[in-house]
């Protein structure tokens, strides 16, 4: 079992930057961790994933080149650096995790077992 707590959301002008954080209660196991987002009236979509064992990452097409997912194992914290914000990036951003003892990661949000409460990102044009 792991608890996830996101922070760092806020209101930013288009073109600006934010860094979201997700603190995990424990990371003694290797996990697939990810960031997902959901805007009002829309389905939840993937942003980026990372396998904590190797640091291998995956980015969904809509954020490639602008978002960076990273981890600080010493702090049990996952980050999402968001640059060049666009109005369409506005959403509730969620951190998610699932144990991955044999390696690898998933892209489908349905495969993730643990979720944070979310942090809101608002973009003004």
Tens place of pLDDT per residue across the chain (125 aa): 899 999 999 999 999 999 999 999 976 678 999 999 999 999 999 999 999 989 999 999 999 999 999 999 889 999 999 999 999 999 999 999 999 988 889 999 999 999 999 999 999 98
C-beta separation of 97 from 109 below 8 A: no
Bridge partners, residue 50, by sequence: 33, 57
Structure letter (DSSP) for residue 57:
E
Burial class (CB in 10 A: 0-12, 13-18, 19+), 46: buried
What token pair was written down for 51? 């396998």
Number of H helices, E strands in the chain: 0, 11
**pLDDT tens-digit readout, 31-59:** 999 999 999 999 999 999 999 989 999 99
């Amino acid at each position: 079992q792991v608890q996830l707590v996101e922070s760092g959301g806020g209101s930013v002008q288009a073109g600006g930057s934010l860094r979201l954080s997700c603190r995990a209660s424990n990371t003694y196991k290797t996990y697939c961790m990810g960031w997902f987002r959901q805007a009002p009236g829309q389905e939840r979509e993937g942003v980026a994933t990372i396998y904590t064992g190797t640091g291998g990452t995956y980015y969904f097409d809509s954020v490639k080149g602008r978002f960076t997912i990273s981890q600080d194992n010493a702090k049990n914290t996952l980050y999402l650096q968001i640059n060049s914000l666009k109005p369409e990036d506005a959403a509730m951003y969620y951190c998610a995790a699932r144990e991955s003892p044999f390696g690898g990661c998933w892209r489908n949000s349905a495969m993730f077992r643990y979720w944070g409460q979310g942090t809101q990102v608002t973009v003004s044009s």
